[in-house]
Amino acid sequence: DGQKQPADTAPPETATAVDFINAFEKLSGAHPGFRKAHAKGVCVQATFSPNTDSPFAGSPLFSNGDLPASIRFSVGGGNPVSDERTPGVRGMGTQIKLPGGGMHTFTGNSTPVFAAKDPETFLGLLQRLMPDESGRPNMARLGAYIAANPSTQAGAMWSRTTPAPASYANTPYFGLHTFFYQADDAQEQVKFRWHIEPSLGNKGLDAEASATLPALFLEDTLKEQVANEETPVTFTIIATLGEENDTNIDPSVQWPKERPQVNMGTLTLNSVGTQSCDKTNYDPNLLSSGFTPSDDPVLRMRSPAYGISFGKRLSGQ
């Protein structure tokens, strides 16, 4: 009758870890044995050197000197052979191993804000990115969803405006969620968010570089950068200290720019390209003694989703 249907812009009422695994498999196809998100990646061996002059100094993560770290850099999405010249999310999982078997995990994305404020709104976004009968996502439906769900707008803007990074070592990574640290003898908690900055600086691919590079270049570029002994490849982990009114639960919102920042320490990349991280679960809730996660529902959803994906890939599904 020529009349437009009303836009379907509501997020689903519930979102479970299984819903996410199914959504990723629908978006990217089934790839048995691979991670259901960030399927493509490379393992790196690294060293964590803590900044012992920081509010975290009393914790075992900071009081044991240099510690070995396992890093995995990745391309967002469930496709294990995606074209790396394409803009989009890049990831960095870091697991630092403490004496006695403890570990501490920093798993972040190259996006300074998350795609949505909570799991339901994120699942709704993924559902609108799925192809319809035409074989492509319905852009009008997607646009209407973003317009009606403000928490998705900063992430969508980032996606539209940020070029593909020139290397895994030329982009920052953001933890996005709020975490807490409390020393054994302290009354007060340190409330913080973290991000990781590359010593080689941020650099996006321009059109010329994209035209000359092969579809897969990230692993080779990183290997060349780490092989260059004159310029060590390091990353600085930075904590932003939050105030009481800064959100604990919404990873789609940045804290005010003027919050103080402290250096947590340095990651130095030692070697690239082994299978050392294939059987690692970079669950961001695996924290060392003294640190606790916030009640951010997106952070909470990550443990069950990573657990299902981990179990599936270990069993070849």
Residues in contact with ligand HEM by CB under 6 A are: 20, 35-38, 41, 72, 74, 91-93, 107-109, 114, 119, 122, 175-176, 251, 281-282, 298, 301-302, 305-306, 309-310, 313
Q: Which is nearer to ligand HEM, 69 or 301 (CB)?
A: 301
For the chain, what is the largest distance between any 2 Cα atoms, rounded to a whole number of angstroms? 72
Report whether 151 contacts 124 (CB < 8 A). no
Q: Which is nearer to ligand HEM, 99 or 274 (CB)?
A: 274
Report whether 241 contacts 259 (CB < 8 A). yes
Q: Which is nearer to ligand HEM, 93 or 172 (CB)?
A: 93
Which residue in 31, 38, 104, 195 is the catalytic one?
38
Q: Which is nearer to ligand HEM, 57 or 145 (CB)?
A: 145
In the complex, the smallest distance separating the C-beta of residue 207 from ligand HEM, rounded to whole angstroms, is 27
- Continuous H helices in the chain: 17-28, 119-129, 139-148, 153-161, 207-212, 218-227, 297-314
In the complex, the smallest distance separating the C-beta of residue 138 from ligand HEM, rounded to whole angstroms, is 23
Q: Which is nearer to ligand HEM, 7 or 314 (CB)?
A: 314
In the complex, the smallest distance separating the C-beta of residue 303 from ligand HEM, rounded to whole angstroms, is 10
C-alpha radius of gyration, the chain, whole number: 20
Return the residue nearest ligand HEM (CB atom). 91
| Burial class of 234 by CB neighbour count within 10 A (0 to 12, 13 to 18, 19+) | middle
Rounded alpha-carbon distances, angstroms, from residue 222 to 40, 74, 77, 198, 227: 14, 12, 20, 12, 8
Residue 42, both tokens: 């490379």
In the complex, the smallest distance separating the C-beta of residue 250 from ligand HEM, rounded to whole angstroms, is 11
Give the separation between CA 31 and CA 141, rounded to whole angstroms: 28
In the complex, the smallest distance separating the C-beta of residue 264 from ligand HEM, rounded to whole angstroms, is 16
Phi, psi of 100 (to 5 degrees): 90, 0
Question: Among this protein's residues, is 177 annotated catalytic?
Answer: no
Active-site positions read 38
